């Protein structure tokens, strides 16, 4: 299992860096005079890969036997959440952004109710509607914040923030395995310990500081990376690492409620897409507040 996790983790990090590099080369796309980006490559990856996987897994977590129509509603909810932050500011006057987001929420609830009603049964309606709203608020909106960060800062900063979050996972895993003695929340996540939590936060703070020092290098200056102080990098890394832990615990709560160990099995050794991305969701809004210019 550890070997699989290491291989899959290394491939995911390589994929992240490759996406960031490509996005830096092709930051903006114009479609019928509408500007998409900076971040058009990342947005395309979310729409074509992340959203389909996450919508299927979340629909299954919230409903024992989700229909195809309900899975589509979850997909629409995720894309709508992303669009509210990434696309709407370019298309809608500022004073209409909040009404648009709130109207979208109502529309998603109605779509989920209609999709579930096709089963000709009222049983599970609350789970269907609540699950769709969860996809909008807990997946789509946070993913939109990551893209918003890419809009306001270069791809390096966004990738660095993601690495801080995931480094907390890595630090917590190895620290907890080596010296973990006191369980964090035994009934919710038996594998997590207080020692692992602190080890993860120290790791994410150290990674944040190192990446901040890298942002001050000549290599970064040549790529128009805005420098970040080592102290702010360490602080931001620790905050994002803690957000990652809380996001992971929230997903554990959902999985416990659904009676499953993993959200899926698309990633060997790690489970589903939700199992890997859960720590990034709560961290998305915080990353924007901490690092956006």
Q: To 10 degrees, the CA torsion angle through 279, 184, 8, 164? A: 50
The yes-or-no verdict on residue 9 having pLDDT over 90 is no
Q: Which two tokens stand for residue 47?
A: 């729409």
Residue 123: phi, psi to the nearest 5?
Answer: -65, 130
* Residue 38, preceding peptide bond in cis (omega within 30° of 0): yes
pLDDT value, residue 71: 94
Kindly report, residue by residue over 192-217, the tens digit of the pLDDT.
Answer: 999 999 999 999 999 999 999 999 99
The yes-or-no verdict on residue 1 having pLDDT over 70 is no
The yes-or-no verdict on residue 180 having pLDDT over 90 is no
Q: How far is CA 222 from the centre of its chain?
A: 29
Q: Per DSSP, what are the bridge partners of residue 30?
A: 35
How many angstroms separate the Cα of 206 from the Cα of each of 17, 99, 201, 212, 213? 19, 41, 8, 10, 11
Out of 27-36, 88-97, 122-131, 149-158, which region has the weakest mean confidence (pLDDT)?
Answer: 27-36
Average pLDDT score over the chain: 91
Out of 116-125, 233-242, 271-280, which region has the weakest mean confidence (pLDDT)?
Answer: 116-125
pLDDT value, residue 55: 95
* Segment 238-252 mean pLDDT: 95
For the entire predicted model, the pTM comes to 0.93
């Amino acid at each position: 299992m550890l070997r699989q996790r290491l291989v899959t983790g290394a491939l995911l990090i390589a994929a992240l860096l490759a996406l960031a590099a490509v996005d830096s080369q092709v930051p903006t796309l114009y479609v019928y005079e509408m500007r998409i980006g900076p971040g058009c490559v990342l947005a395309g990856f979310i729409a074509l890969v992340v959203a389909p996987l996450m919508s299927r897994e979340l629909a299954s977590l919230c409903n024992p036997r989700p229909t195809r129509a309900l899975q589509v509603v979850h997909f629409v909810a995720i894309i709508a959440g992303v669009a509210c932050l990434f696309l709407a500011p370019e298309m809608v006057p500022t004073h209409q952004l909040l009404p648009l987001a709130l109207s979208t929420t109502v529309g998603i609830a109605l779509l989920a109710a209609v999709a579930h009603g096709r089963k000709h049964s009222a049983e599970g309606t609350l789970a269907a509607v609540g699950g769709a709203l969860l996809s909008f608020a807990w997946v789509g909106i946070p993913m939109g914040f990551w893209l918003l960060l890419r809009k306001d800062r270069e791809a390096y900063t966004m990738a660095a923030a993601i690495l801080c979050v995931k480094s907390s996972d890595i630090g917590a895993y190895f620290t907890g395995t080596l010296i973990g003695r006191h369980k964090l929340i035994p009934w919710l996540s038996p594998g997590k310990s207080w020692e692992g939590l602190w080890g993860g936060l120290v790791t994410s703070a150290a990674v944040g500081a190192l990446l901040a020092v890298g942002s001050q290098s000549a290599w970064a200056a040549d790529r128009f990376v805005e420098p970040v102080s080592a102290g702010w990098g360490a602080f931001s890394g620790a905050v994002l690492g803690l957000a990652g832990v809380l996001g992971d615990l929230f997903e554990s709560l959902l999985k416990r409620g659904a009676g499953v160990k993993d959200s899926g099995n698309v990633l060997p050794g790690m489970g589903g897409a939700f199992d890997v991305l859960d720590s990034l969701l709560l961290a998305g809004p915080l990353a924007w507040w901490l690092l956006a210019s």
